[in-house]
Chain A
């Protein structure tokens, strides 16, 4: 289990993030069924929802934004940490902290941009061009919600890293902030095919 200076708070957020990531993935299955259903209906039964392109696009955007926090919880967001890994633990902890502060800024701007977008769609009562004439604020708000939750999780993790750094727990900082690497991806692949013992680290 990952160490934390915030007690159970961050772990609960991580747990929620992983559940949300599963729902994000389920949206991709929903998009699959929608697309396949529409192609079959179009070719064999002569009708179409004429909203598949828009709806599956919404599923994609929402699926991505809902999963961002889960990827963070799994420490899987990609970093080029070749140089960082070669630093001694204390400066490395500072580098981790800096990286997370920049991630906060970026996530903040994403949330802000999404907020402006939803606000504008509400103001103009904007609808999409599909057959549904769906009000755009609904998918956009779901998308923005994922980005807000991501921002919340990033802030929480950054705070955690800050506290751990101040407490001098540099090894723990590494375990909270350090990136998952390609070995981990390979390990997960092998776990998926049930050949876990094949990988010797």
Chain B
């Protein structure tokens, strides 16, 4: 609902600007409004996202293009589908699938617990920390929340910890999945906007650390306000054992991120090394088997092709829209609006938060970035910085009540059952600091850009 109100608000602002003569009048308004209406109708009627984008592209093409645009569809789709940067998507997914099945999540959690359970807030810190480490292997937020949730929830059964904080911290940890490199969102953003994946991964470091630190702060404050008996002190033997348990995961993380950050390998090449590393790790753990490989490959194909259909539709739409010059026209129209850039940026941020309440993050980016991005550039914002902002907004959307998907994933896993309000209330402080981090980044872009 918020989203629809928002979209109409933006259209209203445009019409107002046109009437007062500030906006350019040469935009094909009737067609534009018809396309937006069709877009809303398609999504409202539950059309598959790929088909909705593709059919919208076809309608736009027949309506606006004077050339036989359908003759170039095959070439456009083939060129974009064989892109070497895009190859990194299935490879990162495959690495995650193998690691997931090699059973490292449980060991990761207990090893982290040994080191963190004596801080105020205790085991709650482990939720955030193990999610953060897992995010560095997996590029999916839902998978991160589900995996770490299934491991962590049994630890809290029968403890004094407030279930709201437990669920809230796990949801917050899950929302790190895409922000902490290597995230799939960054790769797709980079492809659409022709920016560098490596630069995006570098720019994500600062904000990711900031968000993790803010989460830890929330837990520490909670720990001081609700003091609890500290966990058992681990013996040094246990500490050494836990370090040994962490080494394989940290090695793989280091291999993948290290090769990207030092520029030794392109993201695609380090993803390929990550897959080989995950296979070796699986063999080391004696988990490597034919069913594991078969399921991992099928799972990767499923996830990649899900993304693939949406990309096919989006590329078709982008091809038509940019061949008739819509994004450029929109950018110049917005550029001439009588608002300062930061007001428009607030508009854009609000738009994403609203859209995120009902739309799955990946489709949201693919659908909107081609139109929004030229606009952001016209406003004078840095493309890399904006990529980090968008990714954070997508993550925020996933933990926003009442529709955030991660919240329902955790709600479905908790034992004993309770009202969904527990999850909503529990995630609130984390959600608040996440949004605070976005505004901090808006105010001080250097948090992301100092390394780039």
| 8 Å CB interface, B124-174 against A | 142-143, 145-147, 149-151, 153
CA distance A158 to B312 in the complex (A): 20
Chain A residue contacts of B295, Cβ below 8 A: 192
Whether B103 pairs with A95 at a CB distance below 8 angstroms is no
Chain B residue contacts of A155, Cβ below 8 A: none
Chain B residue contacts of A79, Cβ below 8 A: 46-49
**Of the residues B46, B296, B415, contact of A80 by C-beta under 8 Å:** B46
Would you give the 0/1 interface string for A86-103, flagging 1 where the beta carbon is closer than 8 Å to chain B?
A: 000000000110110011
CA distance A36 to B304 in the complex (A): 20
Whether B409 pairs with A182 at a CB distance below 8 angstroms is yes
Identify the interface centre among A54, A84, A99, A140: most chain B CB within 10 Å of its CB: A99
User: How many chain B residues touch the partner (CB < 8 A)?
Assistant: 83
**Interface-side segment among B219-227, B244-252, B268-276, B342-350:** B268-276
Q: Which residue of A lies closest to B72 (CB)?
A: A113
- Say yes or no for B73: interface residue by CB 8 A criterion: yes
CA distance A114 to B79 in the complex (A): 11
Whether A102 pairs with B153 at a CB distance below 8 angstroms is no
CA distance A81 to B393 in the complex (A): 21
Q: Which residue of B lies closest to A60 (CB)?
A: B87
Whether B45 pairs with A95 at a CB distance below 8 angstroms is yes
Whether B298 pairs with A182 at a CB distance below 8 angstroms is no
Would you give the 0/1 interface string for A64-84, flagging 1 where the beta carbon is closer than 8 Å to chain B?
A: 111110110010111111111
How near does chain B come to A189, taking the closest CB pair, in angstroms? 4
Whether B82 pairs with A60 at a CB distance below 8 angstroms is yes
With A95-B46, A199-B412 as contacts: A68 and B308 at CB distance below 8 Å = yes
Q: Which residue of B lies closest to A87 (CB)?
A: B46
CA distance A96 to B82 in the complex (A): 32
Whether A186 pairs with B142 at a CB distance below 8 angstroms is yes
- Say yes or no for B114: interface residue by CB 8 A criterion: no
- Say yes or no for B94: interface residue by CB 8 A criterion: yes
Chain B residue contacts of A192, Cβ below 8 A: 97, 100-101, 295, 299
Chain B residue contacts of A134, Cβ below 8 A: none
Identify the interface centre among A18, A114, A117: most chain B CB within 10 Å of its CB: A117
- Say yes or no for A6: interface residue by CB 8 A criterion: no
With A25-B297, A109-B73, A183-B408 as contacts: A189 and B82 at CB distance below 8 Å = no
With A36-B273, A60-B81, A116-B74 as contacts: A77 and B48 at CB distance below 8 Å = yes
CA distance A83 to B358 in the complex (A): 10
Chain B residue contacts of A179, Cβ below 8 A: 46
How near does chain A come to B195, taking the closest CB pair, in angstroms? 19
Chain B residue contacts of A194, Cβ below 8 A: 103
How near does chain A come to B399, taking the closest CB pair, in angstroms? 13
- Say yes or no for A106: interface residue by CB 8 A criterion: yes
CA distance A112 to B77 in the complex (A): 12
Whether B409 pairs with A183 at a CB distance below 8 angstroms is yes
| 8 Å CB interface, A40-65 against B | 53-54, 56-61, 63-65
With A39-B269, A193-B147, A198-B150 as contacts: A106 and B54 at CB distance below 8 Å = yes
Whether B82 pairs with A32 at a CB distance below 8 angstroms is no
Chain A residue contacts of B265, Cβ below 8 A: 39
Q: Count A-B contacts at CB 8 Å.
A: 259
- Say yes or no for B84: interface residue by CB 8 A criterion: yes
Chain A residue contacts of B147, Cβ below 8 A: 189-190, 193
Whether B48 pairs with A103 at a CB distance below 8 angstroms is yes
- Say yes or no for B427: interface residue by CB 8 A criterion: no
Identify the interface centre among B306, B403, B415: most chain A CB within 10 Å of its CB: B306
**Of the residues B43, B45, B150, B296, contact of A98 by C-beta under 8 Å:** B45
CA distance A142 to B258 in the complex (A): 36
Interface SS of chain B? helix
Chain B residue contacts of A189, Cβ below 8 A: 100, 142-143, 146-147
Whether A21 pairs with B84 at a CB distance below 8 angstroms is no
Whether B142 pairs with A80 at a CB distance below 8 angstroms is no
- Say yes or no for B52: interface residue by CB 8 A criterion: yes
| 8 Å CB interface, A162-201 against B | 179, 182-183, 185-186, 188-190, 192-195, 198-201
- Say yes or no for A156: interface residue by CB 8 A criterion: no
Chain B residue contacts of A28, Cβ below 8 A: 90-91, 94, 297, 300-301, 304
Chain A residue contacts of B272, Cβ below 8 A: 31-32, 35-36, 39
Chain B residue contacts of A68, Cβ below 8 A: 305, 308-309
Chain B residue contacts of A71, Cβ below 8 A: 302, 305-306, 309
Would you give the 0/1 interface string for B67-92, flagging 1 where the beta carbon is closer than 8 Å to chain A?
A: 00011011101100111101100110
5 A-B contacts, Cβ less than 8 Å apart? A35-B87, A57-B86, A80-B358, A192-B97, A199-B412
- Among all A-B residue pairs, the 10 with the closest Cβ atoms: A117-B74, A57-B82, A25-B297, A113-B73, A25-B301, A67-B305, A113-B74, A64-B308, A84-B46, A61-B81
Which residues of B does A touch, CB under 8 Å? Answer: 42-52, 54-55, 58, 70-71, 73-75, 77-78, 81-84, 86-87, 90-91, 94, 97, 100-101, 103, 105, 142-143, 145-147, 149-151, 153, 265, 268-269, 272-273, 275-276, 294-302, 304-306, 308-310, 312-313, 316, 358-360, 362-363, 403, 405, 408-409, 412-415, 417
Which residues of A does B touch, CB under 8 Å? Answer: 18, 21-22, 24-26, 28-29, 31-32, 35-36, 39, 53-54, 56-61, 63-68, 70-71, 74, 76-84, 95-96, 98-99, 102-103, 105-107, 109-110, 112-118, 120, 139-140, 143, 179, 182-183, 185-186, 188-190, 192-195, 198-201
- Given contact pairs A35-B272, A36-B276, a sample of 20 additional A-B residue pairs in the complex whose CB atoms are under 8 Å apart: A25-B90, A25-B94, A25-B297, A28-B94, A31-B87, A31-B272, A39-B272, A39-B273, A57-B81, A57-B87, A61-B78, A64-B81, A71-B302, A77-B49, A77-B309, A79-B46, A82-B358, A106-B313, A190-B150, A192-B295
